[in-house]
Every structure is written in structure tokens, then in C-alpha cells.
Amino acid sequence: MRRVVLASLVFGSVISRSARAAPPVAAPAPSTPQLVALIPADDARASIALGPRGEVYEPDGKGAWMRKQQITTADKLAIAGRAGGMVVANGEGVVYRLAANGWSALRLAQKGLAIMSGGSRAIAAVGRQLYALDHTIAGEPAKLALAGAPVLAIGAGKGIVIATERGLLRVDGAKLTPIAGAPRKVARLVSDLWAVVDGGALDLRSNKTTPWPVGLTILLTASSADDSLVGVARAHGKLELVTLRGGKLDREPISLTPVGDPVGIVVDRKGRAVVALRDGRLVSRAKAGNWEVTTVSDALPTPRPGPPPALSQ
């Protein structure tokens, strides 16, 4: 008989794929917190950082990010974003939604693994079917357009762009329109306005590519609140914040030692920025050139005596 391990405080669809007769032994927690994503907010300083198993680190308003709830996901997360007022994340093909008492798995389809866009508007797809994660019908995410081929990537903002083996298409309700002049393949869809291609950034409105400067390696990209392309790059062994606006690329050094591996970036309308690093550090600035570094920490409640999380048969 199949046994399913439930994540702590997870409700909703059962999502574990374990088929062993005995419950698996949980891996020991890393000695230092790690991060995989940064959830945007209107004020970058209010962004939420996520660990690989759904650990939630929220800002305390005093420059620190702390984990106050012992909640996790059953799958390792890879991407996260917002869907309306909700925080959502994708781990190993399962889409999760964060509630006040934990994570729940969203049922999208009977079969198939989901992909998802991150950032300020998360849209999901399973196979050819697109789903709106911020709108539900009968308790389930609403279906959007049905593509002619499996959806390979999604970029979303005010609009939606998808990538299939047939090329890039804009989504307008149930209508799909090929983007004239766009390359058939891109390295990454950042939003409905931007894509990363070999050697540069592609503006999907004008189909104009801005090349990256020689010696600059782009590590991470996102769309800012004013629809500019922002990213974290490495040059000469150091990190830089890059901003592409109106065809002009601005570069700003990020003072940081050791350099680290960026996993998330948020830049708000007032230019405040937060960069999340895989090693648990967050680098933030309120104005250009003034970077501050902090490391996420745990402030979990004292464990209560009682049985471990239940096993469902």
C-alpha cells in the first residue's frame, strides 16, 4: 500500500510521490539557511525570501529577515512569485500556494508536471493548457488559452507571452498570436516585455536586442516595477546591478564579500533594491551606492510535545 508523507502544516492535494513501505528519514537541516527565490513587493524592503523547502523569511521592518513558522513543502522549490495577493511557488512540477497556516498544493490537471512564471504575476501551464493562478473557478485555478504545442516557458506582466517549439506567442484571453519578427527560441522569458537571448536582452515590444558589454556575465534577470529589465551580473569577479531602460544599460557595483550566487532580485518604483543570495544573505539598498548586507535567521517557536507529522495511507 502506498504511503504518502505530508509536509508540516500542508493542506489540500496530496503531492508526495514516495512509494516506500517505511516513512523516509528527513535529511538534516543545513547549518546555514539557504535561499532559492525572492517574492516581489511594492516596497522592495518588504520582499519575502524563500528557502528550498518552502522556508519563509519575512522582513521585520528593521532590516532583518526572519523565519517564524515551521512550515515546508514536500518538493524542492525552483521558482516563486505572486498571483494577486498570494505567494505561489513551483517545486518539481507541483504548484504551491502560501496561506497563513502553511503551503497547499494547487490541483491544475490530473496528469503532467506544471511550469510557472515568477515575478509579480505568476501564470502556470501543464502541457498545452495555461492557468491563471490569481483567479479560481469552483476552487481551482481558471483555465486560460490552450496552446497548439506544449508550453515551454512563460513570461507575464500586464500581458502574457509563452514559448513553444513553434516560437513566441502573445496571449490575449483564449487568443494566441505569434510575435512577428521575434526569434524562434530565446534563452529565457523574463516577462511579457523582455527576454534574454544569446549575448543580450530582447525587447519584445520592438524586437530590438541590446547586447551585453564585453566581460559582463548576466547571472539573473527580472522585470522591475517600472517595466525596466533589471539583473545581477558578474564582471572582474564582482557583482553588479544592471538596469536596461530606454535602450540604455546602467551598471552599479554591489559591495559584497564573498561574492555569492544570486537567486532573486526586486527593484521597486522608487529604485530601492534587494538581492537574495543562495547562501542566505540579502543585500539591499535604499539609494544608489549604499548597500547593506544581512543574513536570514530563524526565530521559530519552541517545539511542542506530541506526535510527528501524520502519515496518510
**46 three-class SS:** helix
For residue 48, give the 3-state DSSP assignment: strand
Q: Residue 15, SS3? A: coil
pLDDT in 10s for each residue of the chain, 313 residues: 333 333 333 333 333 333 334 444 444 445 689 999 999 999 999 999 999 999 999 999 999 999 999 999 999 999 999 999 999 999 999 999 999 999 999 989 999 999 999 999 999 999 999 999 999 888 889 999 999 999 999 999 999 999 999 999 999 989 999 999 999 999 999 999 999 999 999 999 999 999 999 999 999 999 999 999 999 999 999 999 999 998 999 999 998 999 999 999 999 999 999 999 999 999 999 887 789 999 999 989 877 666 655 443 3
Instruction: Give the three-class secondary structure for 178.
Output: strand
Show the domain range for 258. Answer: 4-19+34-298
CA distances in angstroms from 195 to 138, 183, 191, 223, 228, listed in the order given: 34, 10, 7, 10, 12
**Measured between alpha carbons, how far is 146 from 173 in angstroms, rounded to an integer?**
10
pLDDT for res 308: 55
- The candidate with the shortest Cα–Cα distance to 195, out of 146, 244, 264, is 244
Structural domain includes residue 252: yes
What's the rounded Cα separation, in Å, for the pair 185 and 35? 29
| pLDDT in the model for residue 287 | 80
Do residues 238 and 247 make contact, with C-beta atoms less than 8 angstroms apart? no
Residue 73 lies in a domain: yes
In a domain, 222, yes or no: yes
**Digit-coded pLDDT (tens) for 255-277:** 899 999 999 999 999 999 999 99
pLDDT at 122: 97
How far out from the chain centre does Cα 210 lie?
A: 24
The answer to whether position 307 is within a domain reads no
Question: What pLDDT does residue 275 have?
Answer: 98
- Model confidence, pTM: 0.85
Q: How many domains does the chain have?
A: 1
Give the integer Cα–Cα distance in Å for 37 and 77: 9
Q: What is the CATH number of the domain that holds 244?
A: 2.130.10.10
Is there a domain that residue 239 lies in? yes
pLDDT of 1 reads 38
Domain membership flag for residue 272: yes
